[in-house]
Homo-oligomer: A and B are copies of this chain.
Amino acid sequence: MVSLIQEANQRIFSHVWRTPLVRSEPLTRLGPGKVWLKLESLQPTNSFKVRPAFNAMLTHLEQARRCGVVTSSSGNFAQATAYAARELGVDAQIVMMRDASPFKIERTRQFGGEVVLCENSFEARWETTFRIQRESGRLLLHPYDSEETIAGDGTIGLELLEDLDRDFCVVVPVSGGGLVAGIASALKPFRPSCRVIGVQPKANPSMAESKRQGSRVTVQPQGSMADALSVLTPGELTFDIARELVDDVVLVEEDEFAAAVRLLAEEQKLVVEPGGAAGVAAWMAGKVDNRGLDVVCIVSGGNVVSAKFTQLLQEANMAVAR
């Protein structure tokens, strides 16, 4: 996988940003160890998903331009696919559930993607996606479970290796598992003593449960404010990698997501969506065993619905006023 990640890096570097790794004073205070934030929320479309979207599309560019692409997403891969497609002159159809974040649906359309809404279940989403692929001959871009997407995700790991010269513990939001699999695949061959910790909502624990049981299990997701981390079953490829290379997957509660979003806004001056704040939430809740290493929290996305975000901040204001 490492060579695929290095190839991905060459392929996408002129299309995405090399995001900053910044020190966090308020999170370091919770110690031990310095805490760094990798700001994927600053990418075009405001999530890391432009990396896998560009890598998948550029790998099969001729076919993508000829046949168009289709994908399925809770919202961040949707926006990234729409954006990459527009940049590369590709036609994109994106299947989203009717109750996906309206903000993410709207932004996907603004980036030029054709959104196909389906019923509110993962089964319906995949069924619709596969049907479109069969009937239209479009190229299917998997949001997390393909070599191209995992390799695109893994480019974050290469940047961390360049930016930090000592072993560290990286804390990664987990949905289907592409991001954590990609980062672990980039780090472990070069620095086996780096730790990789995945984080899922307690409401959607399929990867944590699969790791515990030693095989992929399906867990019907409950509602969570971390809409980006909603998935039925880990990917096949991503689970195989996570089983071998990810040290632990921890679970965070809804109020821990809210506390992380608030701290990032008030003390770090970053707008981060709940799913993107999962690593910070786990660190704040004392759930990251970093073994004294420096900690890197991947801030994977910032696409919080504005109304939800302001509601969170207002609740914090009221708490201060009391």
Chain A residues in contact with chain B, CB under 8 A? Answer: 17, 19-20, 22-23, 25, 39, 41-42, 44, 46, 265-272, 302, 306-307, 309-310, 313-314, 316-317, 320
Shortest Cβ distance from residue A111 to the other chain B in the assembled complex, whole angstroms? 10
Choice from B42, B314, B320 contacting A269 with Cβ under 8 Å: B42
Choice from B25, B39, B272, B309 contacting A44 with Cβ under 8 Å: B25
CB nearest to A50 among chain B residues: B25
Show 5 A/B contacts (Cβ-Cβ < 8 Å), sorted by A: A20-B22, A265-B306, A270-B271, A307-B314, A307-B317
With a cutoff of 8 Å between Cβ atoms, the chain B residues found around residue A46 in the complex are 267, 269
Are the CB atoms of B302 and A313 closer together than 8 Å?
no
Are the CB atoms of B271 and A265 closer together than 8 Å?
yes
CB nearest to A308 among chain B residues: B317
Q: Once bound together, how far apart are the Cα atoms of A313 and B41, in whole Å?
A: 18
With a cutoff of 8 Å between Cβ atoms, the chain B residues found around residue A314 in the complex are 307, 310
CB nearest to A47 among chain B residues: B269
Known A-B contacts: A46-B269, A306-B316. Give 15 more (CB < 8 A): A20-B22, A22-B39, A42-B268, A46-B267, A265-B271, A265-B306, A266-B271, A266-B306, A269-B270, A269-B302, A270-B270, A270-B271, A307-B314, A309-B313, A310-B314
With a cutoff of 8 Å between Cβ atoms, the chain B residues found around residue A41 in the complex are 269
CB nearest to A268 among chain B residues: B42
| A17, A25, A267, A309 interface centre (most CB from chain B within 10 Å) | A25
CB nearest to A267 among chain B residues: B46
CB nearest to A22 among chain B residues: B42
Choice from B22, B269, B306 contacting A313 with Cβ under 8 Å: B306
With a cutoff of 8 Å between Cβ atoms, the chain B residues found around residue A271 in the complex are 265-266, 269-271
Q: Once bound together, how far apart are the Cα atoms of A51 and B1, in whole Å?
A: 43
Q: Once bound together, how far apart are the Cα atoms of A22 and B40, in whole Å?
A: 11
With a cutoff of 8 Å between Cβ atoms, the chain B residues found around residue A269 in the complex are 41-42, 46, 270-272, 302
